[in-house]
A and B are shown apart, each in its own frame.
Chain A
């Protein structure tokens, strides 16, 4: 062996050859390792007692790797030999079962100088390259091993996370399903309420039929035709009160559910409470419209949990770099509520707004008589000023649009983007119409409409220059009611208002307007406005035509009435929220007005034919609004008659 070691001098540098051995010696000098590795009892060998600890703690310190096999190979290269312990008489090593004892004749305790005699064995030339190659890869392998361990840890991490997310997802799904159920329940309750309202309405009319015809005849004797009496009808208040009660019950139920399934949503609950409160005051509109708002709350909360995902119909915002002109970008519906919506601070704002809203409504109730007086005397174009939400990001368009609306005696609220529009529509269910730009930052108009449609049926008009047919189709698909092409003109805007707010016009407007009731603000508007009115009034709106004109039986010549009767069945179905919710939406505020006192007289005169929902809405409005002007209109009866004559003939 010694020969081998000595011949190797030429192959390996002298200093290098003893390096390993010196390290080995130094390691054995450390007494703190005695439990793990130490000199053999005779001092002519060394023993690794704890192979595992040795590999993990000592090898890295002294030899910069943690591979025992590699260490053994190295020893072999320097001609160390493992001392075999399995002699016949004693199968045990004196150092324990798992001990490794190594020996080299020149490697002895307290004999440092003899270390120089330990040389690397001379390998065959071919073999030498192999061995040097061998030592490097072992280190690389060690490195790789470490990396694998690290990666395994990462994988473990990821799978843990995945499992957690799966659970979360499951929870989310359950929550969403519960919310859906709630919404369905809610819809069916509305349905029931509607049916109930209708049945009560029918019964009352049946009961009062005789009285009605009697009274009608009596008054026809004076100046009124029976039909005029008929149009003075009003919805009896009790069914609507009943409806309110039912809706309140439902509200309570929904809130209960919310509490049950939504521990996270304290703000939501609070909001729910605020939201439902107005329903108690017997205002049918508040009851109906706000209930969906309460139901919508869970959705808000969940979308917050959804995190940052905020798909919108159009890729909006100036930074998107996608052409907003083309509907192909539109893919996903429905969209989660933008998360800003549910920030607690924002929510509180909403609450505050809602509270303010209530106050405003109260104030408004007080103001209504004044308005009415004013509208009867000064601006009979509207029974009351329509409340318009103008959603437009461009300042110029917003100012001009607002000014036009103002000139039409509208009360204008503005929102600078879709997000603000949703917030405002949510906080304030009292808008009569929403004018919605399409391409806006933060949230586009179509997405905003889609969101608003989750809780409100206020007519929404798209204001846009994108009026290709597929664009328009898209608008309608997402719940918009009409399109006002940009740039709009004063006339086109007025046209749109007249078309969708005809129920807000003084009830007898069709008859009187040409003679006596041209709105002052419209007087400046040239004859164009007149022709719009006249053109659009007959068939445009079932509500108006039914309300203003009378039963079809009496005036067979009027096309408007049969036309409007046709959609009746579908209007009872909650799934077509359009006319139904819309109608109810228009109801409420006026109903609370002191003029309700006028109502009791009305049911008596109610004719059998008037059963539409849309008409009910008008009726609900009547006690406050339409009725009064009609009273004022009495002196103009001769005109009415002549008008009817022409229509009929």
Chain B
């Protein structure tokens, strides 16, 4: 999981748990699950509407929380979506003038990030003793 979750980042959240339970970190993580899933749904919708600006904004939004939890892959993908949505390439440095290309890039990235997310979600659910 090391390339999926940044251990240091995640551990410092675990450190915030009270002794004997992990209610705090679990609450955060499961809250993130809800957030991520609803964000993905919104992304699909705005992808259908070809609303790049909204997609970029959603990418930024989920980037922040996934980064805070140390979910590297999800974070990276969200960052890409943010850039694509802004009419840039995946690094955000060069312009991508063709909307359709940007939308296609987002479509691919979104498909991939959902897989990555599922993987990390399963892992974390197991970690917290729930069957995925």
Contacts and interface: CB of A to CB of B under 8 A. Distances in A.
B35 interface: yes
Contact of A324 (B9, B57, B70, B87): B57
B65 interface: yes
Contacts of A403: 13, 16, 24
Q: Quick one: which of A320, A322, A399, A488 has the most chain B CB within 10 A?
A: A399
B31 A323 contact: no
A162 interface: no
A597 interface: no
A631 interface: no
A437 B8 CA distance: 23
Contact of A323 (B32, B67, B85): B85
A318 B35 contact: no
Given A399-B31, A404-B16, A489-B12, A323 B68 contact: no
A393 B57 CA distance: 13
Interface string A407-429: 10000000000000000000000
Contacts of B101: none
Given A323-B85, A489-B8, A396 B65 contact: yes
Interface of A is mostly: loop
Contacts of B51: 321
B86 A396 contact: no
Nearest to B16: A403
A142 interface: no
B76 interface: no
Q: Quick one: which of B24, B61, B68, B88 has the most chain A CB within 10 A?
A: B68
Interface string B67-97: 1111000010000001101111000100000
Contact of A396 (B16, B54, B68, B83): B68
Contacts of B132: none
B45 to A, nearest CB: 12
B20 interface: no
A35 B95 CA distance: 80
Contacts of A396: 28, 31-32, 35, 64-65, 68-69
Given A318-B57, A322-B53, A403-B16, A397 B86 contact: no
Interface string A447-468: 0000000000000000001000
Contacts of B75: 487
Given A321-B54, A403-B16, A407-B16, A465 B63 contact: yes
A311 B83 CA distance: 24
A397 B60 contact: no
Given A397-B68, A399-B27, A403-B24, A325 B16 contact: no
28 contacts: A318-B54, A318-B61, A320-B53, A321-B52, A321-B53, A321-B54, A322-B53, A323-B82, A323-B85, A323-B87, A323-B88, A324-B57, A325-B92, A394-B61, A395-B31, A396-B28, A396-B32, A396-B35, A399-B28, A400-B13, A403-B16, A439-B60, A465-B63, A486-B64, A487-B64, A487-B67, A489-B12, A490-B12
